[in-house]
Amino acid sequence: MNILARRSLLLLASSAAFGAAVAAPAAPLVMGFSQVGAESEWRSANTASIKAAAKQDGVTLKFADAQQKQENQVKAIRSFIAQKVDVIAFSPVVESGWDTVLREAKAAKIPVILTDRAVNVSDPSLFVSFIGSDFVEEGRKAGRWLLERAAKNPGADLNIVELQGTVGSAPALDRKKGFEEVIAGNPKLKISRSQSGDFTRAKGKEVMEAFLKAKDKKIDVLYAHNDDMAIGAIQAIEEAGLKPGKDILIISIDGVKGAFEAMLAGKLNVTVECNPLLGPQLMQLAREVVAGKTVAKRITTLEGVFPAEVAAKELPNRRY
């Protein structure tokens, strides 16, 4: 090897060694997160978990609150693409209408993780993984509680009214599906009225007032797709001079502190847990995705059912 080649080889080796010795620390992972909104206690706990986990994990989090509007989520995702974030995560407010913007993220080679809620897309490669609850099973759990309760008084017809979550959202569609699948087993259980309360206390109260004003049939059971709507409905039931939890059995989903307090007051009969504390799992998943590791397409969270009888014992353990 001639002297010139040897010297340039030495130079290259020394600069590489020099480079290795002073390599800058890996830049923190940058995540763009589009959140549904701040519509419920569950959502607030979910946001807190994601922000705390990002801080804990040294992830730079760009967080956008969509105020329950899909167009705001699409705008946020486009902004994350323009900022060239490392990974995009979001909880889709509704199931449909995501193909175009997710194709833009794919074209920009930015991986997308779904948290909490699912999407309906033509091409499943538009997202890498979906981490969240099984909402159909949550609806089944609510239905099973009612079946067991109804079995104590087999002859009675039970008139059920239903407060649905946000129209077109995965939890609303799936919780309805799971509940109806289970109560179909008892012809005495009938849903006479069903309307969206948009997962909020205010709307839940408003719709329950309308159900009560209809006075077409005595209401025996309220099935609410989340605790916030149930708590709003409890106010409407009391204002109508009825006893929530006694005159009208109330079944809801989420397992937030407000539900445990309502159960302790004898105003709510059961809440099906839906775990919002997805932050740590999301950060871990994002790191694996950005590192190019193969990850599970679907990651579900483990959840329980909490009837009023266990509320006092369980309340001190609740983390949201």
Chain residues in the site for ligand GZL (CB under 6 A): 39-40, 42-43, 116-117, 133, 171, 199, 226, 228, 253-254, 274
Whether the Cβ atoms of residue 237 and residue 217 lie closer than 8 Å to each other: no
Crossing angle of helices 135-150 and 170-183, in 10° steps, is 30
CA neighbours closer than 13 Å in the CB half-sphere of residue 156: 14
Smaller CB separation from ligand GZL, 199 or 260: 199
Contacts (Cβ under 8 Å, ≥6 apart) of 287: 29, 57
Smaller CB separation from ligand GZL, 158 or 222: 222
**Strand (E) positions, 66-152?**
87-90, 112-115, 129-132
Determine the Cα–Cα distance for residues 44 and 208; give it in Å rounded to an integer: 24
CB of 133 to ligand GZL, least distance (A): 5
Smaller CB separation from ligand GZL, 53 or 110: 53
Residue type, 311: A
Whether the Cβ atoms of residue 102 and residue 127 lie closer than 8 Å to each other: yes
Q: What residue has token string 């009391």? A: 238
Helix (H) or strand (E) holding 67: none
CB of 199 to ligand GZL, least distance (A): 4
Smaller CB separation from ligand GZL, 31 or 131: 131
CB of 259 to ligand GZL, least distance (A): 10
Smaller CB separation from ligand GZL, 32 or 171: 171
In sequence order, what are the beta bridge partners of 217?
A: none
CB of 227 to ligand GZL, least distance (A): 7
Short-list 210, 275, 272, 201, CA closest to 240: 210
Q: What residue has token string 């605790």? A: 227
CB of 86 to ligand GZL, least distance (A): 25
* Torsions phi, psi for 35 (to 5 deg): -100, 150
Smaller CB separation from ligand GZL, 189 or 253: 253
CB of 18 to ligand GZL, least distance (A): 51
Helix (H) or strand (E) holding 30: strand 30-35
CB of 34 to ligand GZL, least distance (A): 13
Longest dimension (CA), the chain: 101
Short-list 23, 230, 274, CA closest to 139: 274
Smaller CB separation from ligand GZL, 32 or 92: 92
Smaller CB separation from ligand GZL, 77 or 224: 224
CB of 38 to ligand GZL, least distance (A): 9
